[in-house]
Amino acid sequence: MQFKKLANAILITTSIIALSACTHTKKNMDDDASMRGNNMTSHSETSGAGGRSTYDDNVNRSKGTISKNTYYFDFDKSEIHSNDLPAIYAQADYLMGHPAAKIILEGHTDPRGSREYNVGLGERRANSIAEVLKDRGVNPTQIRVLSYGAERLASNGRTEQEYQLDRRSVVVYIQG
């Protein structure tokens, strides 16, 4: 009888602890965004302002039967989901049909863990896609692998759903 009361007390208290640990507020990103937009190409720093990475997803829609350019991965894994294969094969077909076309294969991870190790993990993911393309017959010179690790997250959130969106490889056409 008494144990039941004790157990209830523990249950209530630990759920209070768990709740207080879970709450966090999302920040609105409305700081000087417009100013940043205007100053994007002019930087006062003495060393180079970087080049721009653009996601040419819209361009890709016209590339044959390619249905998607982003492929997702499970936690700590670099194995391709089988239902991504048709889209990847379609990328291969396009590349083989357009020998002047070039892609960057980006690799990404979720933000947990060590940054440089994540660069290595991201590269593994991009390489998985690259291997499939090359096995299909794509010329390796058409492919460049670039791992961003956890440095270019898909979202700012820290839930499992958002981590799932971070773990990805993206095909970006830089030519053709």
Encoded tokens for 161: 């759903």
Encoded tokens for 86: 């048709």
Closest to other proteins by CB, 20 or 62: 20
57 close to 69: Cβ distance less than 8 angstroms: yes
Name which position in 73, 94, 148, 173 contacts other proteins (CB under 8 A): 148
* Ranges of H-type helices in 1-63: 2-22, 33-38, 57-60
Name which position in 33, 58, 62, 161 contacts other proteins (CB under 8 A): 33
Least CB distance to other proteins at residue 2 (A): 4
Nearest to 85 by CA among 124, 121, 127, 136: 136
Asked whether position 140 contacts other proteins by CB under 8 A, the answer is: no
Contacts with other proteins in 84-123 (CB under 8 A)?
104, 112-117, 119-121, 123
Asked whether position 128 contacts other proteins by CB under 8 A, the answer is: no
Contacts with other proteins in 35-64 (CB under 8 A)?
36-37, 40, 43-53
Nearest to 163 by CA among 116, 118, 131, 132: 118
